[in-house]
């Protein structure tokens, strides 16, 4: 029996793989919670991660059109990050995952 795989499955797999990267989901969650542009240092502090990890994740989010990066010609240069419109549509799903874990006092192994 031949079963044709739905093409959307591959895209969902890619999204899950991206969201599963260290600190990436937390960055999206923080940007959603704060509802305002955040600087790199704010994000780094709020997700409690290294500069390298935060920088990589922000670049991946930007490359996948989930985060907007806005820089200002100040000295030093000021950069702020916000969720894109498409990421804002994903935010309720992310919020529900955090709520689910908190509401069920989950301690996964």
Domains of the chain: 8-103 (1.10.10.10)
pLDDT at 109 over 80: no
For residues 10-35, one letter each, b for 16 or more C-beta atoms within 10 angstroms of the residue's C-beta and e for the rest, the string is: eeeeeeeebeeeebbbbbbbbbbeee
Helices (H), the chain: 8-19, 24-34, 40-47, 51-63, 85-103
pTM of the predicted protein model: 0.86
Q: Is 35 left (phi over 0), alpha (psi -120 to 50) or beta?
A: left
Across the range 26-45, mean pLDDT stands at 96
Q: Which neighbouring-strand residues pair with 79?
A: 71
Percent of the residues in the chain that have a pLDDT greater than 70, as a whole number? 97
């Amino acid at each position: 029996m031949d079963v044709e795989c739905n093409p959307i499955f591959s895209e969902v797999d890619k999204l899950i793989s991206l969201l599963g990267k260290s600190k990436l989901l937390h960055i999206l969650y923080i940007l959603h919670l704060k509802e305002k542009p955040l600087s790199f240092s704010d994000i780094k502090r709020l997700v409690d991660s290294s500069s390298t990890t935060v920088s990589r994740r922000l670049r991946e989010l930007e490359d996948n059109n989930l985060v907007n990066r806005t820089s200002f010609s100040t000295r030093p240069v000021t950069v702020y990050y916000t969720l894109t419109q498409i990421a804002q549509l994903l935010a309720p799903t992310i919020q529900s995952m955090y709520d689910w874990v908190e509401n069920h006092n989950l301690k996964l192994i």
